Amino acid sequence: MAQVEPRRDRIRHDDCEIEYDIVHRRAVTRRIHLQLGPDGQLQVVAPRRMSARQVRKTLERRSGRVARFLDEARARRRDLPVLRYISGELHGYLGQRYPLDICGRDGRRDRVELADGRLLVRVAEERPERVRALLRGWYRERAVAYFDDRLSALCDRAPWCGDDMPELRVRRMKRTWGNCSTRGRITLNTALIKAPPELIDYVICHEICHLREHNHGPAFYALQETIYPRWREMRQELRASGHMLLHD
C-alpha cells in the first residue's frame, strides 16, 4: 500500500492543542479516519488528494470528537498489560487465550507448540527476548498456513478470482491488517492470527474484493456485501479490539 512520509500539524480544542500526523494512503478514497500510532501520536489517515489545509479544517469542525477519540485510544493503550514472556502469561491464538508454559527443550532446537490448552515454549535459555522471538516465529508459521487455507476457501465465494488463487504474503505490519496490490498480491498482517476466525475471514474477504475494485467506492462495498454480509459488524469489532492483537 503506497504512502508518503507523515506531515505533522495541529489544531486547538478548548484550551488544548492537539498535534497529529497526516498519513496519505492510496486505498483511502473518500474520508479521513483517526488512529493511534505505535508511539501514541495521533495519526490522521487521509485521501491522497486531500491537502493539509483541508484535513485541518475537517478536524477543526470535529475537534470535540477528535479529543474524545484521542483520550479513549490512549486510555486503552495504558490498560494493556506489560508482557514479560513468563510461564502463566496469557497469549492469543485464533480468538482464544492460552497460558505460556516455558520449559527446557527436549531436542536439538528451541520451538513452540500448542498442546493441552497451553503454549509450550521449549527453550534452552529462558530469556524473555528469546521467548518473544520464538513466539513471533510460531505465529508467522501458523499464520501462513491458516491464511493460505482460508484464502483458498473464501476465493470460492468470489467468481472474479477465477481458478487462480492470488499470491499471498504474510508479514508484521504496524498500521494495517492487509492490503492488495494492483498486481493481485494480497498481504496480511501476522498479528491477525491472534484474532477470532470470523475477523480473519472479514479481512481476507476485504482484500479479495480489492482484486476487483481497487478503491472503497460503492462497487467495492457491493462486492463485500455479496461475499461477507457481516462485514460491518466485523469492522466495528476489529476497530474496537485490534490494539490488543498488535500488542506483543
Which triple of cell numbers denotes residue 7?
506531515
Residue 1 scores a pLDDT above 90: no
Structural domain total, the chain: 2
Q: Please state, in angstroms and rounded to a whole number, the distance separating the CA atoms of residues 114 and 134.
A: 13
| Residue 153 within a domain | yes
Residue range(s) defining the domain that contains residue 48:
7-79
Q: Look up the pTM and report it.
A: 0.79
The mean per-residue pLDDT over the stretch 172-186 comes to 91
For the chain, percent of residues with pLDDT exceeding 70: 95
Q: Please state, in angstroms and rounded to a whole number, the distance separating the CA atoms of residues 190 and 246.
A: 9
Q: How high is the pLDDT of residue 5?
A: 56
Backbone angles phi, psi at 104, to 5 degrees: -65, 150
**Residue 116, domain CATH:** 3.30.2010.10
Q: How high is the pLDDT of residue 105?
A: 85
Q: Please state, in angstroms and rounded to a whole number, the distance separating the CA atoms of residues 55 and 32.
A: 8
| Residue 68 within a domain | yes
Burial label for 19, CB within 10 Å (0-12, 13-18, 19+), is: exposed
- Tell me, yes or no, whether 118 and 67 share the same domain: no
Last residue of a domain, one of 17, 47, 79: 79
- Tell me, yes or no, whether 12 and 130 share the same domain: no
Give residue-wise pLDDT tens across range 222-246. Answer: 999 999 999 999 998 998 888 889 8
- Tell me, yes or no, whether 127 and 150 share the same domain: yes
Whether the Cβ atoms of residue 32 and residue 46 lie closer than 8 Å to each other: yes
| Residue 27 within a domain | yes
Q: How high is the pLDDT of residue 219?
A: 96
| Residue 84 within a domain | no
| Residue 1 within a domain | no
- Tell me, yes or no, whether 58 and 104 share the same domain: no
Q: In the structure, what pLDDT confidence band is assigned to residue 73 with cuts at 50, 70 and 90? A: confident
β-strands 96-103, 90-93 pairing:
antiparallel
- Tell me, yes or no, whether 193 and 107 share the same domain: yes
Residue 121 scores a pLDDT above 90: yes
Whether the Cβ atoms of residue 230 and residue 203 lie closer than 8 Å to each other: no
- Tell me, yes or no, whether 123 and 223 share the same domain: yes
Last residue of a domain, one of 37, 53, 79: 79
Q: In the structure, what pLDDT confidence band is assigned to residue 216 with cuts at 50, 70 and 90? A: confident
